[in-house]
């Protein structure tokens, strides 16, 4: 981290006074959030705490009732080209008739234009992204024929080919096998080590300290944010999870244990 305080243009992601409601129900309330560049950040909180809504608000997919978002100091309309997004698998129509290679190539359309056909160089870029995730041998397979973990890897390859500076991933490890989890996390760590900023909605508290160096704990409001060692405390867990904390403790999550 830098010794001098960061200002808004220096943050990879800056969220200020953000409030989102669904009808009369607040999904996010007065969110102030700053994520510096070059970190691997976990966004954690109980079900219904607003984690996915936060990512969608950052991307401009949901209109807030108040507040603003800046990507490297710029509004999302100006900074969208620097962001790669991987939605939840459940939000994707996996029966759409298209091949794995076509799905990944779609990640390049913002650069090449929707009306232009991708050329050989674009297909080579897509194949290279698939190779990063061990999926190059499935390039001609229909996306619907893949397992859940394989589909997740393909969608991460689609984001990877964008060569973004900020990656937002909504539960990329949900219901994937151990091999896929290792491949995904190894890739995200390499991107972080290259200076990219990774923000992951994450559901497994037992792996937070192993995978992440930054943390946002959320339950409609921000409970805590900062380096994992500072935020992952029993006090913050109680504030975020309330009555669910007994279930978490039953799963052997101990904030004081550096190696869960």
- List the chain domain ranges: 8-92+164-250
- 248 CB-near residues (< 8 Å, 6+ apart): 205, 237, 241
- Which stretch of DSSP H or E encloses residue 33? strand 25-35
Predicted pLDDT at 260: 46
pLDDT along the chain (260 residues), means of 10: 54 96 92 97 96 95 94 90 88 78 86 66 92 95 91 94 95 91 96 97 94 97 97 94 62 52
Q: In terms of residues, how long is the chain?
A: 260
Predicted pLDDT at 246: 56
Predicted pLDDT at 2: 45
Predicted pLDDT at 137: 96
For 8-92+164-250, which CATH class? alpha beta
pTM exceeds cut of 0.75 = yes
Residues 81-124: pLDDT tens digits?
Answer: 899 999 987 766 767 788 999 999 988 876 655 556 777 888 89
CB 42 within 8 A of CB 224: no
């Amino acid at each position: 981290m830098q010794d001098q305080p960061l200002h808004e243009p220096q943050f990879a992601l800056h969220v200020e006074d953000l409030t989102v409601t669904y009808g009369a129900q607040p999904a996010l309330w007065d969110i102030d959030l700053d994520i510096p560049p070059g970190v691997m950040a976990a966004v954690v909180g109980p079900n219904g705490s607003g984690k996915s809504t936060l990512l969608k608000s950052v991307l401009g997919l949901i209109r807030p009732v108040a507040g603003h978002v800046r990507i490297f100091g710029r509004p999302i309309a100006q900074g969208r080209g620097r962001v790669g997004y991987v939605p939840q698998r459940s939000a994707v129509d996996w029966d759409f008739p298209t091949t794995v290679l076509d799905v990944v190539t779609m990640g390049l359309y913002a650069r090449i234009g929707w009306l232009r056909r991708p050329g050989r160089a674009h297909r080579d870029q897509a194949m290279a992204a698939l190779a990063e995730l061990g999926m190059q041998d499935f390039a001609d397979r229909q996306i619907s024929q893949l397992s859940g973990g394989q589909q997740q890897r393909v969608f991460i390859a689609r984001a990877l080919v964008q060569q973004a500076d900020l990656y937002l991933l909504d539960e990329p490890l949900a219901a994937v096998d151990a091999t896929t989890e290792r491949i995904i996390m190894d890739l995200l760590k390499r991107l972080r080590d290259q200076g990219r900023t990774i923000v992951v909605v994450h559901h497994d508290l037992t792996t937070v300290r192993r995978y992440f160096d930054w943390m946002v704990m959320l339950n409609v409001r921000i409970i805590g944010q900062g380096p994992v060692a500072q935020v992952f405390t029993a006090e913050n867990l109680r504030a975020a999870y309330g009555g669910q904390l007994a279930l978490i403790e039953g799963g052997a999550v101990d904030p004081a244990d550096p190696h869960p």
